A = this chain, B = another copy of it.
Amino acid sequence: MPELPEQIRELLASGLGVDRAPGPPGPISQVELPEARVPRDAAEALRAIVGPDAVLDDQEARVRHTRGKSTPDLLRLRAGDAASAPDLVLLPGSHDEVLAVLRACSERRVAVVPFGGGSSVVGGLEPEAGGFAGLIALDLRRMNALLALDEVSRAATLEPGLRGPQAEALLAERGYTIGHFPQSFEYATLGGFAAARSSGQASAGYGRFDELVLAMRVAAPAGELTLGRAPKSAAGPDLRQLMLGSEGAFGVITSLSVAVRPVPEVRVYEGWRLPSFQDGVAVLRRLAQDGPLPTVLRLSDETETALNLARPGEIGSGGGGGSEGCLAIVGYEGTESDVDARRARATRVLSDMGAAEQPGAGGSWERDRYRGPYLRDALLDAGALVETLETVSFWSALPGLYDEVSVALRRSLTEQGTPPVVLCHVSHVYPSGASLYFTVASAQADDPVAQWRVAKAAASDAIRTAGGSITHHHGVGIDHRDWYAREIGQLGIDVLRAVKATLDPAGIMNPGVLLPLR
């Protein structure tokens, strides 16, 4: 775990009023686990399906499969609270085993939480299992094969338990990449990317994960689905798009075919300085609408630029190159000729619209691109509350969305006696809109979980009022459920309930995630 530089500690004290450091969490052995409830005969049945070595019930396995990686998740575990821990952790090895496990659990009303990288930050791993006969975590890590590579169609069929780097390594041996690099890349799995509609840092170039999925096999308590006979089709509603984003509440994706591309010959990441966030948004919109679209496109607002959080490795090191205006990261990946062509045209657009190149910033971003989340533990130890949230809207709503969410976060935390710093960046663009990603830091209050809950609700209300969607790429989980229900309306919820009732008649799949229990 990275240590916090002294300058950051000073910044926390002087800037946010952090005046006490709770220190690091205790050992896993001190976490209090709920008593396991899965009946003995059910446990035996599950052991018979996956084999005894693939069933874990020790303290460490249970704690490590408790909830995800949101700040409240970390805070509750630090406080010794593992109330949501699964009774058993199962490691199935195949589609057929998953199918048999789900059937057995359905018959016995044992709840199931599908578990990939455990990196949910929205409560996607915290099912409401109280009314069930127990809870098992279905950890898919053993399902980690590259099943097939169709080089003609540029499609790879992979198992869902592959973590980002594992999948990329298997494909790189054959000369291919998926190009999906979210901040959770090092831990999260392909199944998780699909189930939660992940979007990576290079989404402008490679697409969102839901756009990359060409086909999938799904195991559900009621049976199985095999979806995707072609890239696109007019054969009815696109059922792939019904499973993408289902967050384990409908079934388990047991294999998926994703679009791959040749490993790029060239990767170039540049920093560009814009006079203001507004100017930067105009440039991003221009590139998204009229092209050429870079592979990576990211714009920090003035505060994030000043605090240099676009390059977290340099926080406080003074290497940020000044604090005026806004920093954009613009990256190109592809063949040399493709990169040259796009870069030349995009550079003209950037220059014409008032951007100035910022030497070194692209390289710093590349070096630290996955590092952000790892600082968080050190910041929590030091007494800071740090959390992120994100949204997306059409371009015309974006300025209002930015203002209202910023104001809501500042107001809520200030009213709680802990005035925050609020940073924001745009990291995913479309012809018709873009995402906003906020980072918030303040001093921890006495009950930091409650403190954040209040601030998050204020921000979520502001997102709703300002016309954004409650999440661009984190998902719904438990945390966004109420706002999600308002977003799609009661009839939309009823439709999804009907789908769930068909695939999961006993309601055992991640109960309470995505859709409220009845």
Contacts and interface: CB of A to CB of B under 8 A. Distances in A.
A33 B391 CA distance: 55
A396 B153 contact: yes
Contacts of A227: 488, 492
Interface in A370-422: 391-397
Contacts of A496: 236-237, 239
Contacts of A220: 491
A235 B124 CA distance: 12
A154 interface: yes
A431 B476 contact: no
A153 B394 contact: yes
Interface string A449-493: 000000000000000000111111111100010001001111110
Interface string A334-351: 010110010001000000
Given A242-B495, A396-B153, A196 B503 contact: no
Interface stretch (A19-27, A243-251, A272-280): A243-251
Given A210-B238, A236-B496, A495-B502, A394 B155 contact: yes
26 contacts: A152-B395, A154-B431, A199-B234, A210-B238, A226-B489, A227-B492, A229-B467, A230-B391, A230-B433, A230-B469, A231-B432, A233-B470, A234-B476, A235-B245, A235-B470, A235-B475, A235-B476, A235-B488, A236-B488, A237-B499, A238-B238, A239-B492, A259-B432, A261-B289, A341-B345, A498-B499
A430 interface: yes
Contacts of A259: 431-432
A230 to B, nearest CB: 4
A447 interface: no
Interface in A196-215: 196-199, 208, 210, 214
Interface in A144-158: 150, 152-155
